[in-house]
Structure 1
């Protein structure tokens, strides 16, 4: 998680730096602002950064699904979706880099189809992975609520994951809507998505850390619940228990007569009533 966090932070910073360089070149250092920004091939580096951010974010989401479920067959479909996103994103970046101001309509149409395919596969993959992870967290909460009477802290993490997935999907849908309408707002949404991917990733980490170190919740509650599958939980073992009972009888009885028959009768009557 630390490596992924540093990588996303680096990619998000590089995305902002690329935008600053384009603004400097388009408005200050180079002449012809309209000519500069109409050439979409100049955005190849920024598009490649955005592709890496998408792949890293989706890969972390799929990895979380595997950690929670501990079953490889559960993440087969998200992995296929991730590979599809990688192929469509790579071809989209390459198609945009080949465009120029004199490109024909056929090349532009092909590039648009790849862009639409990339965003559609990204939406589907994110929805499947988020739903799979949320389902397992809900099952964990349902199972644990039967075993404990105190509050369980999976629901806050469940809500954060669902909110992050919904926010990311909403941005992708907004990107598709602006792209279909031919609005230049798609460039603004694209820059927003490049920053929201690290934000949603860090939000889950911060929320988990708050729950772990909060005084109102136990330390390590989330990690011990999420990482440890149900199959590895300790189960009750049968144990043989032997209970021994010992009866103590006070035999210090004083007899007024030293008659042996009286002592024997007294001893026999106590022996009949003795449970041991």
Structure 2
């Protein structure tokens, strides 16, 4: 089947695009670590999220290093460039890293779903999908490692069905888990919106989760299409996904942290300006008319029979009739 792009051209484009995405991933990783640790004591630090962020960044770094070495070996060190890139078994390590990235990213998403719902039965189907991803992915990586000088064999029926099953299962699991998580957040948002005067803080998190889920699902769908059409552009898409996984994870964490800092800032501004705002509201003058004042001397009956003004002021009881009106 005629290809729309050669393997060499696809690999060059893949390393360029992956390097750009890796730069974005590195920047977001730094912000993620800062947002997870800034102004938090040891009890407030989400250690699991830090470990997940570090693991995904490490896998993404390994992915781009392996790709860079592959390009170096192919174009610089190899005597026959075409023959070198025809041997797709050299991609085994990169494929294994990619599968680990996928499993870690999906595991985090499923864990988030469980934390939000607090019900194990909600994540049963996503967990089954995760196991299916692990099985199909492991078999796909092993099968590709057995191929050598026939790159088109990866798209043939026997091999292609495992590859397509892997990506189809991944798309289904990701869409299902994201939908379950988004539905719960939407329900909470609807409930809090009825009792809050302002927009619920859950809404921005809901939006970014849906956007990241859509981005990841679209990249997987693109990869599935390239596999179905047996296009060498799959080399480009798979390297992109290797960096999209940590990017989407960091985006969710960073966006949530921005909400936390935004809430603190707004609360601080309110506490500093709330009194002055109330005092600055223009009010109509209040006119007070005292019609009658009655003073009862509690010193009557004392032996001296005389009371001083200071004693009257301290011990006397005053009854006043006050009429207030707005002028």
1:185 aligns with 2:236: no
Q: 1:146, CA displacement in angstroms?
A: 1.9
Who is 1:86 aligned against? 134
| TM-score scaled by length of structure 2 | 0.65
Preserved CA contact (<8 Å) 2:144 2:154: no
Who is 2:125 aligned against? 77
Match of 1:33 among 64, 77, 81: 81
Match of 1:115 among 142, 155, 163: 163
- 1:148 aligns to what SS in structure 2? coil
Task: List alignment gaps of at least 5 residues for structure 1.
Answer: 220-249, 253-276
Who is 2:243 aligned against? 195
Equivalent-residue separation in structure 2 for 1:186 and 1:4 (angstroms): 27
Map 1:148-159 onto structure 2 (within 5 A): 148-159=196-207
Summarize deviations over 1:198-229 as a string: whole Å, max 9, x none: 0000000110111101155569xxxxxxxxxx
Preserved CA contact (<8 Å) 1:61 1:130: yes
Say which structure, 1 or 2, has more relative contact order (CA 8 Å, 6+ apart): 2
Match of 1:60 among 67, 87, 108: 108
Q: 1:101, CA displacement in angstroms?
A: 2.1
- 1:183 aligns to what SS in structure 2? coil
Q: 1:30, CA displacement in angstroms?
A: 1.3
Query: Structure 1: which 4+ aligned runs deviate by more than 3 Å?
Result: 102-108, 215-219
- 1:184 aligns to what SS in structure 2? coil
Task: List alignment gaps of at least 5 residues for structure 2.
Answer: 1-48, 269-295, 299-327
Who is 2:323 aligned against? none
| TM-score scaled by length of structure 1 | 0.76
Preserved CA contact (<8 Å) 2:147 2:153: no
Change in 2 beyond 3 A, CA 1:16/1:102: closer
Preserved CA contact (<8 Å) 2:152 2:230: no
Equivalent-residue separation in structure 2 for 1:122 and 1:218 (angstroms): 42
1:206 aligns with 2:254: yes
Change in 2 beyond 3 A, CA 1:104/1:57: closer
Equivalent-residue separation in structure 2 for 1:157 and 1:19 (angstroms): 33
Change in 2 beyond 3 A, CA 1:213/1:51: same
Who is 1:18 aligned against? 66
Equivalent-residue separation in structure 2 for 1:105 and 1:174 (angstroms): 20
Change in 2 beyond 3 A, CA 1:40/1:103: closer
Preserved CA contact (<8 Å) 2:87 2:150: no
Q: 1:105, CA displacement in angstroms?
A: 6.3
Summarize deviations over 1:30-53 as a string: whole Å, max 9, x none: 111111111111000000000000
Equivalent-residue separation in structure 1 for 2:246 and 2:163 (angstroms): 22
Preserved CA contact (<8 Å) 1:211 1:217: no
Summarize deviations over 1:23-77 as a string: whole Å, max 9, x none: 1100001111111111111000000000000000000000000000000000001
Preserved CA contact (<8 Å) 1:119 1:176: yes
- Structure with the higher strand share, 1 or 2: 2
Question: RMSD in angstroms over aligned alpha carbons?
Answer: 2.3
